[in-house]
Amino acid sequence: TQMNDTFPKDFLWGGAVAAHQIEGAYDADGKGLSTADVLTAGNRESPRQITQGVLPGQYYPNHEAIDFYHRYKEDIKLFKELGLKAFRTSINWSRIFPNGDDVEPNEAGLKFYDDLFDELLKNGIEPVITLSHFEIPYALYENYGGFKNRKLIDFFVRYAETVMNRYKDKVTYWMTFNEINNQLDTFDELHTWTNSAVLFEEGDNKEEVTVQASLNELIASAKAVKIGKAINPDFQIGCMMAYVPVYPYACHPKDMLASSKMMERRFFYSDVHVRGEIPIYALKRWEREGFDLEYTEEDLLSLKEGTVDYIGFSYYMSTAVTTLDDLDGQPIRDFPEAKVVGNPYLEANDWGWQIDPDGLRYTLNTVYQRYNKPLFIVENGMGAYDTVDSDGKIRDDYRVEYLEAHIKAMHEAIAIDGVDVMGYTPWGVIDIVSFGSGEMEKRYGFIYVDKDNQGNGTLKRRKKESFAWYQKVIEENGLQD
């Protein structure tokens, strides 16, 4: 088939970002501090630090980010020129409930998103909204210890209900928790912090704490889905997963088993979101580990009543695991199941993320076969250093090459395998602060933003060479064969 016969007319070609990575204005108009506001800048070698509150003399890249808060009209003009049909961003929770537990929402925060969504709609761009993308009100950590405390279920539900009500005629596509599975995949404190506002304490069983926080989020998500559907039955409400497929490093049966067990860490979350019940492999594991988890019969009912309409997910890379000792590859990280190792067949970007377009087709197939629900690729892209040539051009053919290969893989999944895909919103449509490293120079955009890792620059926007390429993809509803 011709590629452009494959994509339905209303296929959501778009671009994605998250509030904390673009907006800046971190303390404007009554906004409270969020978990993202206490993250310092890191780089490839040294991780971002989580500080107790905002400390003097530290650089926090998200405080200004790319100042989208004040420049969104100018940026949306460019998005329109690019031809975006959808724009995925998040609502910054602490703009709406500065402390998380406030009784009344902050009107100035609500007003900002009214104006933002109006501006998008006026330009023919459909907003796709994540409720929680690493921006939990900091006070919910300080006063409650984050999502390990089940009081956060109600705070999240109140927030979700408030914004779904307010924007019921402006937003149709919602997602609850961004990349909710990252925390169990890695146990990196950065992820538990940004997913759940939880910091581990002395003596904590990290997995037990993470599972408790995750359960509270899954319950909160299900309650929000149910309420959202009551507010507007036309809402499409999805979950948001990071699908990084884990391949067996060798064809040794133990490696195959290890890879499936590692995939369970990811599927656990979508199994609950989609099927509305806790999978048996999880129950067995918690029992074996002697975890003391708190959830009620009523919670289990909530899970059943709030299953999602679609599965949103990010796809960047794949990894491999092995149980073997005689490795060629270097072990990257140890898990109870196996060691994560480099895949000798794949190349990686400058941050070690292994590029694998076939992995996207594989993921689309596996997930669709597991759930039989519409899928929405809400993040995909390759972080790279860009340079501005002396003629002012940014020749980012590597970006085009990466995206083209992934769009081809998506096309194959749809045209050959019959997978139902709703849309494709590549990550960081405009350059933003990197989540993982806090760098500004790890760029994903079609639109360049003049700012460096130390925060210097004019913030001026400039189209990269990839801009015209993506514009054409959207215009022609797919790549030309």
Considering only residues 310 to 339 of the shown chain, the ones binding ligand P53 according to CB under 6 A are: 314, 316
Q: Shortest Cβ distance from residue 137 to ligand P53 (Å)? A: 18
Instruction: Tell me whether residue 106 or residue 195 sits nearer to ligand P53 (CB atom).
Output: 195
Q: Contact between 33 and ligand P53 (CB under 6 A)?
A: no
Instruction: Tell me whether residue 7 or residue 68 sits nearer to ligand P53 (CB atom).
Output: 68
Instruction: Tell me whether residue 112 or residue 435 sits nearer to ligand P53 (CB atom).
Output: 435
Strand intervals (E) in 405-446: 421-424
Considering only residues 242 to 261 of the shown chain, the ones binding ligand P53 according to CB under 6 A are: 242, 244
Which candidate, 332, 367, 183, 336, places its Cα nearest to that of 249? Answer: 332
Residue 44-83 contact track with ligand P53, rule CB under 6 A, x = bound: ----------------------------------------
Sign of CA dihedral 154, 159, 162, 164: negative
Q: Contact between 23 and ligand P53 (CB under 6 A)?
A: no
Parallel, antiparallel, or unpaired: how do β-strands 339-341 and 319-322 relate? Answer: antiparallel
Instruction: Tell me whether residue 132 or residue 437 sits nearer to ligand P53 (CB atom).
Output: 437
Judge whether 382 and 402 are in contact, CB under 8 Å. Answer: yes
Judge whether 136 and 144 are in contact, CB under 8 Å. Answer: no
Residue 337 CB-half CA count within 13 A: 23
The Cα–Cα gap between 96 and 18 comes to 16
List the catalytic residue out of 23, 126, 217, 379: 379
**Closest residue to ligand P53, based on beta-carbon distance:** 436
Instruction: Tell me whether residue 314 or residue 322 sits nearer to ligand P53 (CB atom).
Output: 314
Instruction: Tell me whether residue 39 or residue 410 sits nearer to ligand P53 (CB atom).
Output: 39
Question: Helix (H, G, I), strand (E, B), or coil: what is residue 219?
Answer: helix
Q: Shortest Cβ distance from residue 109 to ligand P53 (Å)? A: 21
Residue of the chain from 3, 12, 18, 449 that contacts ligand P53 (CB under 6 A): 18
The torsion angle over the Cα atoms of residues 445, 449, 454 and 458, rounded to 10 degrees, is 180
The Cα–Cα gap between 241 and 158 comes to 23
Q: Contact between 349 and ligand P53 (CB under 6 A)?
A: no
Q: Contact between 147 and ligand P53 (CB under 6 A)?
A: no
Interface segment toward ligand P53; rule CB under 6 A; list 42-50, 215-223, 414-422, 433-441:
433-441
Instruction: Tell me whether residue 291 or residue 351 sits nearer to ligand P53 (CB atom).
Output: 351
Residue of the chain from 319, 380, 434, 466 that contacts ligand P53 (CB under 6 A): 434
Number of H helices, E strands in the chain: 16, 14
The Cα–Cα gap between 372 and 365 comes to 10
Burial of 177 (0-12, 13-18, 19+ CB in 10 A): buried
Beta bridge partner(s), residue 159: none
Q: Contact between 354 and ligand P53 (CB under 6 A)?
A: no
Is 337 one of the catalytic residues?
A: no
Judge whether 354 and 317 are in contact, CB under 8 Å. Answer: yes
The Cα–Cα gap between 450 and 458 comes to 6
Q: Shortest Cβ distance from residue 150 to ligand P53 (Å)? A: 25
Judge whether 353 and 383 are in contact, CB under 8 Å. Answer: yes
Sign of CA dihedral 36, 319, 289, 202: negative
Considering only residues 172 to 201 of the shown chain, the ones binding ligand P53 according to CB under 6 A are: 178-179, 182
Interface segment toward ligand P53; rule CB under 6 A; list 84-92, 164-172, 268-276, 427-435:
427-435
Q: Shortest Cβ distance from residue 470 to ligand P53 (Å)? A: 18
Q: Shortest Cβ distance from residue 476 to ligand P53 (Å)? A: 27
Question: Helix (H, G, I), strand (E, B), or coil: what is residue 239?
Answer: strand
Considering only residues 374 to 403 of the shown chain, the ones binding ligand P53 according to CB under 6 A are: 379, 383
Residues serving a catalytic function are 379
Residues that bind ligand P53 (CB under 6 A): 18, 178-179, 182, 242, 244, 314, 316, 379, 383, 427, 434-437, 442
